[in-house]
Structure 1
Amino acid sequence: MRALITDPEAPGGLRLGETPDPVPAPDEALVRVTATSLNHGEASMARQGAPAGVVLGWDAAGVVVRPADDGSSPPAGTPVVTLGLAGAWAEQRAVNTGMMGAAPEDADPGAISTIPVAGLSALRALRRLGPVLGRRVLITGATGGVGRYAVQLARLAGAHVVASTGDPSAHGDALRSLGADEVVAGPDDVDVDEPVYGVLDMVGGHALVAAYDRLAPGGALVAVGRVTGEGETFPYTMLSGDRGHDRSIVSFYLPGESGLGPDLTWLAAKVASGVLTPQISWRGPWAKTAEAMDALLDRRLHGKAVLDIT
């Protein structure tokens, strides 16, 4: 089969070539991939040290061509959305049935392919906060793929959504159209007199510390992403006395989550019906992967990049 294969000598660290077809385990289905969406983490791996000759990629939409031998997958011909630690950048992938959801027949594969990392991370992280109906929730890095899903899902859950983006003048209207009630340039701009009940932080570094400082007593911050690559330093007084009372920081790791199949199916239905919008900002054939990765890693993309596998 054809695939994007890691190659340190190729432009962008990838080349389009031939690789053996995957051989599914009994609890895996074989899926013909029709679209894949790119994530910052896997793009960085392709450029910075992934072993030569492997097929990367986490997110993919496609169609089941061979059901799992143990009977746990949808039947052949079913459109699906899939998540895995590798293998999405290929014409076929073998997928554990616990990381696969059924998609509506008329769903756009490109839109559906944006769901696994971005949509699941936003959904599962939001659940960590507990009920948010009528509560203020801050989302940092709101213009990214996870952030945009998080804004929409928090609004669906009844939260008062505060979206943080580096350039509110450029992205404020788009974030409000997704459901943000307020748009700020950073956590430091959140009014200290109106603390937030919960935070979904996609940024790390100073943003995480500043967002934690805006938490109300009893609130929680879920650390979803750390795109800055910076460490976090907390002033001594922030974690002591009245200011530090009953607030928590929760780590998050999507591959460690279980029972993802039903959530993938639910998210696929919401995207297909238009309740959730995937916010695709770049889409093209996989022959132009290097172009998409450059834009993603240079932070010129706000939203998702989708490759159509043709």
Structure 2
Amino acid sequence: MRALTVDHSVPSRLRFTEVPDPVPAAHEVLVEVAAASVNPGEVQGLLPHAPDGAVPGWEAAGVVRRAAADGSGPPVGTRVATVGPGGAWAGLRAVPAALAGVVPDGADLVAAATLPVAAGSALRALRDLGPLLGRRVLVTGATGAVGRFAVQLGAMAGADVVASVRRPGREGELARLGAREVLTGGPPFATAPVHGVVETVGGEQLAAAFALLAADGTLVSVGRASGADTVLGPAVLTGDAGAHGRSIRTFYLADGRPGLDADLGWLAARLADGRLEAAVDRTAPFAEAPALLAGPLPPGKLVLTPQG
């Protein structure tokens, strides 16, 4: 099969080449990839350290061509969205059946390829906040991949979503996706207390968001897009004036919690029925990826396809 492999001798650290087909283990399905998403963490965080010859890529959507030998997971011919530590940027992918969610016929596979990491993280982070119906939830970095899904899913769950973005100009889009309030310009935030926070930026945004939590509220730290340190001053950490019991919760999608296949299937069904919207800014064939990723990651969401 043809695949993108790590090659540290070229500027992009990627080469499009012929490699052996993957051989699935008994608990894995073999998926013919129709589309694979590109995430900043893969390009900036993993590629520099991956060994030569490795096939990168966390998430991909496609069609099952070989079912799991142990009888688990979807049968041959099923459309699926998959997630894993690598192997997505290829014509075929072997992935555990427990990490493959069924994609209904009404959902576009290119859009479905963007669901596992971002929408899966948003869904599970929101669950970590507890019941959401009628509660105020702050989403920082709301126009980012995770944040955009968190706004939609939070509103779907009945929360009054407060969306925070650094730059103005996206207020209308966020309101359409379900945000009741949109904050621009970053901290300090001028808003009432919130019961929970899905925090994707880190640095001063995390500190300011934590200071907004009401008693017993939870902040889930999903990302650190700013790359900055977070400093929590003494005043922010006091528990008086109704600020007791607040917590910061770390997050990792691949933490071993069961049911990720069901979560991906549920998200894909919401994509199919139009209740969830995925943003795809550009598609490109695998063959063009080395040139596209040789410099800074292009803005917006990039999805790679075998044929373009």
Settle same-fold status: TM greater than 0.5: yes
Q: Which runs of 5+ in 1 are unaligned?
A: none
Contact 1:163–1:183 (CA under 8 A) maintained in structure 2? yes
CA gap of 1:53–1:175, structure 2 versus 1, over 3 A, is: same
CA drift at 1:206 = 1.1
CA drift at 1:240 = 2.1
| 1:159-174 equivalence runs, <5 A | 159-168=159-168, 170-174=169-173
2:250 is aligned with 1:251 = yes
| 1:35-46 equivalence runs, <5 A | 35-45=35-45
Which residue of structure 1 lines up, in the alignment, with residue 304 of structure 2? 307
Which residue of structure 2 lines up, in the alignment, with residue 234 of structure 1? 232
Cα deviation code 1:158-179 (max 9, x no counterpart): 11111111112x2212111111
Contact 1:2–1:16 (CA under 8 A) maintained in structure 2? yes
One-letter amino acid of the structure 2 residue matched with residue 225 of structure 1? G
CA drift at 1:297 = 3.4
CA drift at 1:106 = 3.7
CA drift at 1:90 = 0.4
Cα deviation code 1:238-278 (max 9, x no counterpart): 11241651101011000013220111111111112211000
Which residue of structure 1 lines up, in the alignment, with residue 10 of structure 2? 10
Cα deviation code 1:163-204 (max 9, x no counterpart): 111112x22121111111111125525335x11111000111
Question: How many pairs are equivalent?
Answer: 305
CA drift at 1:291 = 5.9
One-letter amino acid of the structure 1 residue matched with residue 302 of structure 2? A
Cα deviation code 1:21-70 (max 9, x no counterpart): 11111100111101011111111145523221111111100100000000
What is the TM-score normalised by the length of structure 2?
Answer: 0.94
* CA-atom RMSD in angstroms: 1.7
Contact 1:112–1:272 (CA under 8 A) maintained in structure 2? no
CA drift at 1:224 = 0.3
Q: Which moved more, 1:222-231 or 1:57-66?
A: 222-231
Which residue of structure 1 lines up, in the alignment, with residue 75 of structure 2? 75
CA drift at 1:112 = 0.6
What is the TM-score normalised by the length of structure 1?
Answer: 0.93
| 1:261-300 equivalence runs, <5 A | 261-290=261-290, 293=293, 297=297, 300=299
CA gap of 1:249–1:27, structure 2 versus 1, over 3 A, is: same
CA drift at 1:128 = 0.5
Which residue of structure 2 lines up, in the alignment, with residue 195 of structure 1? 193
Q: Which runs of 5+ in 2 are unaligned?
A: none
Identity of aligned residues (%): 50
CA distance in 1, matches of 2:200, 2:181: 17
Contact 1:142–1:151 (CA under 8 A) maintained in structure 2? yes
One-letter amino acid of the structure 1 residue matched with residue 180 of structure 2? D
One-letter amino acid of the structure 1 residue matched with residue 172 of structure 2? D
Contact 1:14–1:46 (CA under 8 A) maintained in structure 2? no
CA gap of 1:211–1:294, structure 2 versus 1, over 3 A, is: farther
CA distance in 2, matches of 1:261, 1:295: 34
